[in-house]
Structures are given as structure tokens and as C-alpha cells.
Structure 1
Amino acid sequence: MQHQSAAAGRTGRLDVFDIARGLALLAMAVYHLAWDLSWFSLVDWQVAKDPGWRGFAISIAASFLFLVGVSLALAHQDGIRWRAASMRIGRIALAASAISLGTFFALGDEFVRFGILHSIAVGSLVALPFVLAPVWATLAAALAVFVLPRVVAVSFPGDEWAMWTGLTQDPPLSVDYVPLFPWLAAILAGIAAVRLLRGKAPWTLLARIRASGRFTRVMALAGRHSMLVYLLHQPILFGSVWALVTLGLVPDGTDRAFLEQCTASCSIARDGPTCERICSCTLETMRGDGAWERLLDAPQDPALNATLNERYAACFETLPPDGPAN
């Protein structure tokens, strides 16, 4: 135990923070799996909009950024090591650029412009001087950063370039948006927490926590290689769900989602059973010449959406209320 404590003191690394980072990665994987299942319409969870899911996502991002602040305070407790810091920030910035590029090709205009990795890279650079600043100054800066976007929201022509600040009124749509303000506050809070607790009784208790069990060892290992885990987990999860759907190993939820939405819209003018037949007729005719598959590949295509409306109108006119399907 003494040998472990001495090693931790020399390196500034404690098992408890690696475990915490691993748990944050596990929570992120759960969230992304739920998002993937929703994206493929395998579940009806509103992951992107539901307040519960949004709160879950916010807590995950906040925990990651808080731990970034903890790591900065531990790594530079004896003075800022600029070379090591610049290399680490450079690697994160490179990974962030790869995420932006990959999501641009995968998601189009909703690509990640300034996500969690972007925020970690820029936030680490901005927060670095605070590892040696007075704690009161760090806490005051964290409060200011947290409050500022709630009182400042600017809008001007071409303001898209400033969306990374979090101070623009209408940032572009993105599947992952973690701007510097207010999220830098979490990094600063992590720095302040280390500065306040180090050398005190709570810190001693945290230092005694060891990754001794199988689960905690796995979490600590993931936490020590968090960048690799972060970059790989979503492609693996998304690819696995895509493969299951493509191979027909799970029911295709897109049909069910379309029929539910179509029936709900149709029911304004006709009764439910008739609408179910009309929507089933629409789906079958779209499938008949491959238009449905093309629409799934290009859901925003105006011509394909016009075809869908034409097929729906034809089925609507052909099927009488409460009559048999043609």
C-alpha cells in the first residue's frame, strides 16, 4: 500500500479518477447506444429531445470536463509543463478534427462542429494558467463562464464562425455541441476541487481507492485510455446496430414509425382502421418499385417525398371508409 501511495504521489495519478473516467465512458456508451437505436427507429425513445435523456447527456459531458480539470491540476501541480501540455492538446485537437470530418460525411449538415473533444482541447488551453492561480480566482472565473451565456447572446451576419464560444444566439444544428461557454466552467471546477481538497482528509480517502476488483480494473483501464475508447466506441456501436438492421436480424423500425406517423396524420380526416389500410397501401406501393428504399437513403429528396405524397393520395382516394383493401 505504501509503495502504491508513493507511486501515485510521484505521478499525480490516482486510481479513483481513472475509474471515474471509465464510468463516464460507460455512461456515454449507454447514451450513444440509445441514440443509435433511436436513429434506426428500433425504439421510440426521443433521445435527442427528451428532458431525461438530455439531462443524462449533460451530466456525462460535465463529468468528463470536470475530470479534465482534475487531470490538469494533477499533471501541472509543480508547474506548467508546456511541452507535455501542447502535445496532449494537439492530439485531442487532431482527434476532434477527425470527428468533424467523419460526421460531415456521415451526417451532412448536422456534423459535429464543436463537440466534447473540441471543448476539451480549447478548454484545456484556456484553463491551463488556472492550475497555478489562486483558488478564489478559479472559482470566480468558473462562475463567470457559467453565467455569461445566460446574459449574452449575440447575432450578426456570418456569426457561424463564433458558434464555438457558446455566445451566439442561433448556433447551427449539430448532433454534438459543447461550446466553450458555459462548459469551461466544469474544467475550472475540476481544477478548483483538486486545489481545495489536496492534502486534506477527503483527498486521503480518495487516494486509498484502488482498482482491485475486475469491474473497477476494467473501468480504470478504459479511463487510462479514454481517448482510444472514445474514438472507437461509437463507430463500433453504430456499425453493429446498422449491421443487425441490414442483415434483417432485428425488425426494421422504419416501417413501424412511418405507419404510426402516417396513421396519426390520416386520422384527422378518416377513421383509424381505414387510415391503417391507406398507410399500409402507401408503404406497399412504395416498396413495389424500390422507391421506399431510395427514400430511406435520401429522406430529404424532394422528388422522393413528392412520390410518397402521390402514392398516399392515390391510396386515400382508392380505399373507401371501412371497405376492404384493394
Structure 2
Amino acid sequence: MRAPRLAVIDLARGLAVIAMVIYHLSWDLSWFGFVQWPVAQGFGWRLFAGSIAGSFLFLAGVSLDLAHHEAIRWRAFWRRLATIAAAAAAVSLVTYFAFADSFVRFGILHSIAAASLIALPFARLPSWTVPAAALFFLTLPLWATSSVFDGPLWFWTGLGKTGFASVDYVPVAPWTGVTLAGLSLSKGFRKLGVWQKLSVLGFEGASGKGLRLTGRHSLTIYLLHQPVLYGLVWSAAQVTPELDRAGNAFVRNCTIACQDTYASPSACNSACTCTVDRLKTDGVWEDLNKDPLNQSLRQQMNETYAICLAEPGD
């Protein structure tokens, strides 16, 4: 028999969805040059993105325990897994056309599907095995990373160099450990009667109802929100040509390329911003935008970049 739905879980998932929407809107605004926030490279933004992904994976583990602790409900599990896998494939396809080589090869939905398969047996195994498995996956990148896992065949493991950039990359290691941690916590909560105590919370206020509804439809919102947000920001970009989108795009792409060689995002961002500013001051930037393939102008750009990169404090 299926356990009654817990409002607190829907509420938590709804909060994660809201955070996800905020992050993706910020990313879109940065991508189109409306803001100078380092959404793709900044440590705080990366931490924010990681916490959102972790929230969904953690809650997936909680849900696995609540749904299958008495007996594995195979039909429901395979139906849910098929839905998530189909959604993950759709995300990969759409982002392939939108972002080319940076498309989502193994993002949050791929990770949830893989983690669900791996974590499912632990819903019926003794409680002590779950934190041990969680620790195993969480620490894998610390001791199992190897060149054996380099390249496209093993990129999903997270244990090698992928050789590609991606707008969303959530590999099995360490992220499956987060799902197992959620499963472990839920087991503990059941034994201590915490879920029973929390079941009386209904969150019947307007905000509570809204968040619960959002949480119940998190997958649909995930699939639809970014195309809508991206489309709205793109539309706004078409009617505000005064923004220096070329300069912002250069700094963004230059920073990403710089980090392939230099590990510091802040140093790379500083050097790339310096490059654009100096090219504008020297009167080169406008000509470079009109004739981006001009080798003489590109040589000036490269020389300016090298100077900015070498300067102390950049």
C-alpha cells in the first residue's frame, strides 16, 4: 500500500524548483549580457547550482525510501524511471540544437535516473549499508579518479577528464552519494517517527499551497521553464540593442576558454574584461566586431589578452 503523500516533501521540492528558476533566469540574463554576474564561473553561483542539484537528488533518495521501504513497487518504479529517462533524452536533444558541443550529455535528470537505479536495492537493505554506500560514492572522486575513465565512454562516471564543456553536468560520482544520503536520512526518520510527526503539517496557506503544487509538478516545470525564460530574455534582447552583448559574450567565452589552461576563474574573468576594455580604448574593438576574421586585428586582440593575463593582480 502506498504511503500518504507528505506535504513537507512537496514543499521542499517546490523550494528547490524556485531556486532552480532563479538560477536559470540569472544564467539567461548573464548569457544575453543584461547583467555582469559570473553565473557560469563564480564560486558562489557554482555553489548555488550544486545545492539545487543536490536538493533534487537528496529528495529523490527520500522518495525512494518512502515509496519502497515495505516492498519495491516495480511497476511504479519503472514507470517513473521511464518518464525521467525520456525527459533526460529530450533535454539532451533540445540542448544539442541550442548549444551544440556544450549540450547536456549527463545532467540532473540523467543523474537522478542513474542514482535511482543504484539506490533502489538499498531501500530494502539494512540501514547501516546505506550511509556506507553514500560515503563510497561521495568519496569516489578523491581516490578512484584515473585516466582510464577519460573520454566520452566513461564521462558519466565523473572519474576522468570529459574533454567537453556542458551547460549541465551531474555525474554518478559523487552525486549518487547524495541520493543515498537522502535514502539513509529517510530510513532514520521512519524509525524515529519523524515522518509521522511531520505528516500533520499541511502548509495550507497561500504560499504553502503554491510551493506544494510546484513541488508536485517539478518535472513538468523543469522541462518547460527554461525554454520559456530563455525565450523571454531573448525577446527582450532583440529590442534593447544598446547593450554591449558582443563585449559580454567575449568576456564569457574568453573566461571559459581561459580556464582550460588557467585554473582561476577570477583571474581569467579579470584578464578577459581587461582585454575588452583595452581594445575599446585603443579603438580596435569596433573594427574587430565588423571584421572578426581580420588576422591583424585578431593578432592585436591576442597580444592585448597576453598582456592583461600577465599583469599582476589580474
Question: TM-score normalised to the size of structure 1?
Answer: 0.79
Distance 1:255 1:158, change over 3 A: closer
> Any idea what SS the aligned residue of 2:204 has?
coil
Distance (whole Å) between structure 2 residues aligned to residue 112 and residue 262 of structure 1: 26
> Any idea what SS the aligned residue of 1:198 has?
helix
In the other structure, the counterpart of 1:57 is 49
Distance 1:75 1:205, change over 3 A: same
* Number of aligned residues: 283
Distance 1:277 1:184, change over 3 A: closer
In the other structure, the counterpart of 1:103 is 95
Q: What stretches of structure 1 of length at least 5 have no aligned partner?
A: 1-8, 293-303, 317-326
Residue 230 in structure 1 maps to residue 195 in structure 2: no
In the other structure, the counterpart of 1:278 is 282
Distance 1:310 1:167, change over 3 A: closer
Deviates further, 112-121 or 162-171? 162-171
Distance 1:25 1:308, change over 3 A: farther
Q: How does 1:240-259 map to 2 (within 5 A)?
A: 240-248=232-240, 251-255=242-246, 257=248
Deviation at 1:65, TM superposition (A): 0.4
8 Å contact from structure 2 (residues 288, 294) kept in 1 = no
Deviation at 1:246, TM superposition (A): 1.0
Distance 1:211 1:174, change over 3 A: same
Q: 2:168 aligns with which of 173, 176, 179?
A: 176
Q: How does 1:206-217 map to 2 (within 5 A)?
A: 206-217=198-209
Distance (whole Å) between structure 1 residues aligned to residue 101 and residue 146 of structure 2: 22
Residue 37 in structure 1 maps to residue 29 in structure 2: yes
Distance (whole Å) between structure 2 residues aligned to residue 55 and residue 213 of structure 1: 31
Distance (whole Å) between structure 2 residues aligned to residue 179 and residue 205 of structure 1: 35
Distance 1:76 1:108, change over 3 A: same
8 Å contact from structure 1 (residues 19, 223) kept in 2 = yes
Q: How does 1:138-177 map to 2 (within 5 A)?
A: 138-156=130-148, 159-177=151-169
Deviates further, 139-148 or 203-212? 203-212
Q: 2:62 aligns with which of 66, 70, 90?
A: 70
Distance (whole Å) between structure 2 residues aligned to residue 96 and residue 208 of structure 1: 34
Deviation at 1:142, TM superposition (A): 0.4
Deviations 1:45-77 (A, max 9, x none): 111111111111111111110100111111112
> Any idea what SS the aligned residue of 1:173 has?
coil
Q: 2:187 aligns with which of 192, 195, 212?
A: 195
8 Å contact from structure 1 (residues 12, 74) kept in 2 = no
Distance 1:157 1:26, change over 3 A: closer
Deviation at 1:158, TM superposition (A): 6.8
Deviates further, 250-259 or 26-35? 250-259
Distance (whole Å) between structure 1 residues aligned to residue 4 and residue 178 of structure 2: 20
8 Å contact from structure 2 (residues 149, 157) kept in 1 = no
Q: 2:275 aligns with which of 245, 256, 265?
A: 265
Distance (whole Å) between structure 2 residues aligned to residue 151 and residue 312 of structure 1: 44
In the other structure, the counterpart of 1:88 is 80
Q: 1:79 aligns with which of 71, 75, 80?
A: 71
Report the aligned-residue RMSD.
Answer: 2.8
Deviates further, 228-237 or 203-212? 203-212
Deviation at 1:171, TM superposition (A): 4.9
Distance 1:227 1:189, change over 3 A: same
Deviation at 1:278, TM superposition (A): 3.5
Distance (whole Å) between structure 1 residues aligned to residue 184 and residue 273 of structure 2: 55
Deviation at 1:307, TM superposition (A): 6.5
Distance 1:26 1:217, change over 3 A: same
In the other structure, the counterpart of 2:297 is 309
Query: Identity of paired residues, percent?
Result: 44
Counterpart amino acid of 1:254?
Answer: R
8 Å contact from structure 1 (residues 282, 312) kept in 2 = no
Distance 1:126 1:308, change over 3 A: farther
Distance (whole Å) between structure 2 residues aligned to residue 129 and residue 168 of structure 1: 27
Residue 133 in structure 1 maps to residue 121 in structure 2: no
8 Å contact from structure 1 (residues 43, 253) kept in 2 = no
8 Å contact from structure 1 (residues 24, 60) kept in 2 = yes
Deviation at 1:150, TM superposition (A): 1.1
Q: Of the two, which has the highest radius of gyration?
A: 1
Counterpart amino acid of 2:275?
Answer: S
Distance 1:278 1:135, change over 3 A: same
